[in-house]
Structures are given as C-alpha cells and as structure tokens.
Structure 1
Amino acid sequence: MASTVCNVDELLAQAERDEAEKLRTITVDKELDLDFDLGHLLASDKNRVERRDLAEQKEEFLRSLARDNTQLLINELWKLPSERVQEVVVVKLPEQTTPLPREKPMPKPKPPTKWEQFAKVKGIQKKKKTNLAWDETAKEWRRRWGYKRGKDDTKEWLIEVPGNADPNEDQFAKRVTAKKERVAKNELNRLRNIARAQKIKVPGVGLAPVAKQSKDELSRAMGVARTSTASAGRFQEGLPKEKPVKATGKKRKFQPLIGDFSSEKTKQLDLLKLMDTKRPKMNMVKAVNKQMREEDREAAAAKGAKRGGNKGRRDRGPPSGARGKGKKGARGGKPTGGKPAGGKPQRGKAAGGKKSKPGKR
C-alpha cells in the first residue's frame, strides 16, 4: 500500500486562495462608482478603459468587464427590500429615471363602441363572468363558450317544434341560419364602430335604396363583398366581363426590430449631421424657382399698374392747351352756321342763336 504524504501548508494556502476567489466574485473595486437605474436594470460605467488590455486580450477583457458590472448591479438589487412569494424572492423595482426613446409612437386609446357609450351614459357596469359553468346534463363544470362548452344546443339530436311554427319547417336548418345571421350582425356592428371612431363614410354593401351611389362606390362595395370571405376572396369566382378591383389604401411597412441595424445607424447619423449643422439644408432648385416666380409676379404687377395709369389719362380728355383750337364747331369753339353736321338747315333758330320771324330768312 503506497503511502501518501500531505503538506498541511499547501492545503491551507489552497483553502485561502479558494476563499479569496469566493470573496472576489461578489466584491468589485472601481475607481468611479457606477450610475444605476434599477427601474430599467441599467448600469452605466464611466471608468477609463485601457486600450492596451482591450487590444491584446479583447475577449477576456470584455468578459471580465461585463462580469464585474453585472455583479455590481446584482449587489445593488440585493440592497432593495425583498419578500418571498411562493418560495421565490421578489424585489420591487423603483421608478425609472432614465428616459428611453420609443421607436414607435404611443398607441392611441381604443375608441369606445356604441354600446360602451350607451352603458357610460346609463351607468351600466360590466359584470365579469367566470369561464366555467355548471352543465346539468353532463353533471360537470364546462366552458361557458367555445369548444366543448356546457349547454351546447348544437349537439342535440332532437328539437321540439314550437306551437306557432310550421310543422314541415326544418328546425335544424333554421337554427344554423339564425346563428349565421347573428355572426354577420356582430361583424357589421364591429365595422360600423370602426368607421364611426375614424369618422369616415363607408359605402353600403350592395344596393342601398336610400342613397344614390356612384360607379366608384358600387365597385368599392363589390370589392368589399368579394374580399369578405374566409380566404379574402382568393377562391371567389368572377363574372365573365368583370374588371379586377383596384386595391385601395397603402400598405404599412415596418422596419424589423431584430436584425441588421446598418440602415437604422445610417438614418440616425444623417439626422445627427443635419441637427449639428449651423446652416439649414437648402434646396437650391426650389429656392431659385421661388425667386424667379416672385420676380415675374412683381414685373406683372408693375406692368399692370402702368397700363392702368395710361388708361385713366386718356379718359380725362385732351390737355388744357389744346382746348379752343382746331376746326370750328369743335369742343370749346363756336357753333357752325346754317347747316349742322347732318347736312340739313336749321329751322327756328338763326345762326347767331336768335329766333327768326316766320316768312323771313
């Protein structure tokens, strides 16, 4: 049997190293304290980074830095008041202090439906029902709605004919038709609520006798009816000479949340460059066109004012120096003798303007 020799000093030194390693895992020394936002579980490290360590041992340096900062964040979380809920330690996080920007705008509150508006006016409060209901036939608790629900009348193989109904009427088909009508009515009310909330006018489906519909409204209503099937009109057969309905509206395009961020980085950098410039960005072509339009407008206004001045001058008549000159009988001169402009001799008045005696000339 081989004898083993144990060095007590080596065992004690190893135990001390293990204890130091355990203490190092929870104790981290930093020149500058980290800034914590426990509401977002955020830790900001402002300490200087050694470029030499980052260049020579990049992976190990980053791993060690992430581990130390995470340890400091966990240490801060353990300082918060905690409680035990179902064998789990729970910590209530404080309020957030760092404002984070949103990529998408805040969602708008859902507009109330017609029934919700009526219930608010009348003071009707909604009573929450449990999802399970007691089924007397099966003698067990079943779902109130949906698959394998309790009191499911569609599974009955026998239906009693009402006294005022036609004895030859198919009650099963009548029940199926009534359910389809209820589903269609609920869907129509849902669409009306959406149209009322967005304040848009939706054309009636089909031919409404009360409103005069145009060709575009009829085609739009036909397109709505065609795409209202379960397959969105993919397997709907068309008429022999029916034209395809033009797609209306715009498709919204969303950028992926996870993936290549090069395009987003480029957009943000362009925005920062635009904000950093002292002079605003100017469209030279648009500015030159605007200046040319303004010059043309001013020239046209000056030309119109000049024409208006000449026209007023012509309406005032000849100048004062020209009055009394020219041919006799003109404006400002004496009237002519025996014959007026028409060529006939005047009667009743002499050339000087006196009345002439009868029988004498």
Structure 2
Amino acid sequence: MATTAACNVDELLAQAERDEAEKLRSITVDRELELDFDLGNLLACDKNRVEARDLAGESKADILRSLARDNTQLLINKLWKLPTERIQEAVVAKLPDPTTALPREKPPPKPRPPTKWEQFAKLKGIQKKKKTNLVWDETAKEWRRRWGYNRAKDDTKEWVIEVPETADPNEDQFAKRVAAKKERVAKNELNRLRNIARAQKVKVPGVGLTPVAQQSKDELSRAASVARVSTASVGKFQEGLPKEKPARGTGKKRKFQPVVGDFGAEKEKQLELLKLMGSKRSTLNVTKATNKQMREEDREAAAARYSKRGKQAGRKGRGDRAAAGKGKGKKGARGKPAGGKPQRGRPTGGKKSKPGKR
C-alpha cells in the first residue's frame, strides 16, 4: 500500500515538472527558414510551410497557438538585441526605421499654397535667416525676447517721446504711435485673409465700403464668412446679421475614428451593436410612428375634402351655365323670341293657322 502511494506521488511530481517545463519553454526556437523581421513596425513574417493535414484535425487551435508563441518569441529575441537605454524605471529599446510601407487610412494632406511673400522671395532668391529668440537689452541689462510681451527695446514703455522737427508740435505722439500700430495690425490681418482667399481659389473681395468690382451674392457671403472666422475665437462668439444664411461649406465636417485609439470604447461600441442585433425587442418608436401615421391620415382626408369641394363647385357651375343657355330660346309675351325680331314664315300667335289665313 505504501509502494502504491509512493508511485502516485512520483507520478504527480513528474507531471508537475512537465507542466512547469511546458509553461516555461526555452527562448530558443528552431525554424527551417529564418523569419523576415521589420522591427520598426514590430512585424515578423514566417515563410515556413504548414501542412494542411495538420490543420484539418482537432489540434488546429493548438498548432496555431504554438506557431504564434514561437514567432513572438523570435521577435522578442530580436528586440532584445537592439541598443537599449533606461528612462526612469523602464528599459526602452531604440527601434530602427520601418522598412515595410503600410497604407494610410486617410489621403496625405495637401501642401499649403505659398503666400505672396513666399512666391516673391523664391523669385528673387531671398533666403530666410534664422534669428535667435533672445537679444541683449541695454536698458534692463538682461537677455529678453525679441518679440512679444516683455520684449527688449519696447518702445511702448517710454514715458517721453521726442517730437520730430517736421511734425506738428501740438500733435499727440503717443496717440499717433498707437494709431500706426493698429494700422499695421489691420494690414497684416488683411494680408492673412487674402492668403486664405487665394488658397481657397476664390476672388478676393474689394477693400473698403465701396468695392472696386461688382461682387456677386456668393462672393459677398464667402467674404462675410471668412471675416467672421478671423477672430481669436474663430467666430465662436461672433453675432450673425439679421436674416443671414450660413455660407456653403461651413457645416460640420465628418470625423473619422483614429486607427489606434481607445480600445475600450471600441469594444463597448461593438458589444452594443451585437446586443442590439441579437435582441428580440423591437427598436421601433411606437409613439413616433403612430403620430406620423395620424398626420398622414389627416393630410389625406383634407386632400379628399378639398377635391370633393372642387368637384361640387364644378358641377354647380356647369348647371348654372346650362340653365342660362335654356333661357335664351324662350319667346316673349307677343310671340317674339327673347332678344330677337319675329321670324318670317311663322305665325306670331300661339295656335296654328290654316293655310291661306292669317
């Protein structure tokens, strides 16, 4: 009895060791043909042949699972051979450039058309020189930004301005400087709108209250829509004109879901769709359908009443015309036809007369 128990324990230990070895298989995988790797896309292509008769049996799932495990192991072995670095508490491998060209979901974006200045610079061979963002300010004795808020050599912070000799001594130089800045800002905004109109291949509207050329209705609406979205909030808080219709092409754009995104939301969406397809309950809105049917019946009844009333009015009109036609042939009190002279060859009296007598 003790020997049988010992044999059972040995068999159980051996089975446990085999199960553990199966779980922790070696990282070394042998293949007749080496796999093609594209580490930039984390892609491994297996060119080894798989027998069809092996996949025909019940062990098809096990064979596919084993192949997927071995190929994944080979891909991970290749990744561990790449140069790695440690970022905080994670070990990161630097992937090479991908070699497999994958198709895009959306068409590539069109290049932005050049502005008028960019066309002129290309024609004249003018190259843009990169300037540093910081310059030395002699007044503050520190490095400051070249443009924007708290910039170096900010002339708006001056408390006194020298009046030029050719200027009016009574003219406010501070107000003149503010007006000049507003004019420059307006000019830049006008150039920006012209670039947008040129990119959209539309005719640029006239400048000022009286346009130079006669503008059509579509051009005026397009100019108004472009001016409305030129604010800092892209026209969100811009009030519309009375009886103004929205311009064409300014509606909501179709949004596409990203290729790689929230897998949880995608899973919930697919499960809801499957649940709706498998449900036996009707998704018809009974109240809405009933109201629609009642409106259709009322509309048909009203159309029938209207057509019946028109037919009755037509019959009545024909009867009045017929009665008026019969009244024209009646004779008067003296034997004359109504509305005419007495006819010759016929007696004027009501009784027939004998021949030769009147």
Normalising by structure 1, what TM-score?
A: 0.51
C-alpha spacing 1:245/1:161, structure 2 compared with 1 (3 Å): farther
Rounded to whole Å, the distance in 2 between the matches of 1:245 and 1:155 is 46
From 167, 170, 173, the equivalent of 1:171 is 173
Shift of 1:147: 2.7
- Contiguous gaps of at least 5 residues in structure 1: 1-16, 56-60, 267-361
User: What does residue range 142-221 of structure 1 map to in structure 2 within 5 Å?
Assistant: 142-204=144-206, 206-221=208-223
DSSP-derived class of the 1:230 partner: coil
DSSP-derived class of the 1:184 partner: helix
State the match for 1:107 in structure 2.
109
Rounded to whole Å, the distance in 1 between the matches of 2:84 and 2:129 is 33
Aligned pair count reads: 233
User: What does residue range 1-361 of structure 1 map to in structure 2 within 5 Å?
Assistant: 27-31=27-31, 33-44=34-45, 69=71, 71-77=73-79, 93=96, 96=99, 98-204=100-206, 206-233=208-235, 235-236=237-238, 242-249=242-249, 250-257=251-258, 258-259=261-262, 260=266
**Aligned partners of 1:206 and 1:218 also within 8 Å:** no
> Cα deviations across residues 317-356 of structure 1 (Å, max 9, x unaligned)?
xxxxxxxxxxxxxxxxxxxxxxxxxxxxxxxxxxxxxxxx
Rounded to whole Å, the distance in 1 between the matches of 2:245 and 2:208 is 15
Shift of 1:238: 6.3
Shift of 1:245: 3.3
Rounded to whole Å, the distance in 1 between the matches of 2:231 and 2:98 is 48
Give the AA of the match of 1:39.
G
Shift of 1:211: 0.7
C-alpha spacing 1:155/1:30, structure 2 compared with 1 (3 Å): farther
> Cα deviations across residues 27-63 of structure 1 (Å, max 9, x unaligned)?
33154643311232322457879986968xxxxx79x
C-alpha spacing 1:184/1:121, structure 2 compared with 1 (3 Å): same
DSSP-derived class of the 1:118 partner: helix
> Cα deviations across residues 136-156 of structure 1 (Å, max 9, x unaligned)?
111111121223222222222
C-alpha spacing 1:25/1:200, structure 2 compared with 1 (3 Å): farther
- Contiguous gaps of at least 5 residues in structure 2: 1-16, 86-90, 274-358
**Aligned partners of 2:221 and 2:247 also within 8 Å:** no
Q: Report sequence identity in percent.
A: 67
Higher relative contact order (CA 8 A, sep 6+): 2
C-alpha spacing 1:224/1:193, structure 2 compared with 1 (3 Å): closer
Rounded to whole Å, the distance in 2 between the matches of 1:207 and 1:103 is 46
> Cα deviations across residues 75-112 of structure 1 (Å, max 9, x unaligned)?
324656x699xxx998672551x221101112222222
Shift of 1:133: 0.9
Normalising by structure 2, what TM-score?
A: 0.51
DSSP-derived class of the 1:133 partner: strand
C-alpha spacing 1:90/1:133, structure 2 compared with 1 (3 Å): farther
**Aligned partners of 2:206 and 2:212 also within 8 Å:** no
C-alpha spacing 1:37/1:219, structure 2 compared with 1 (3 Å): closer
C-alpha spacing 1:199/1:158, structure 2 compared with 1 (3 Å): same
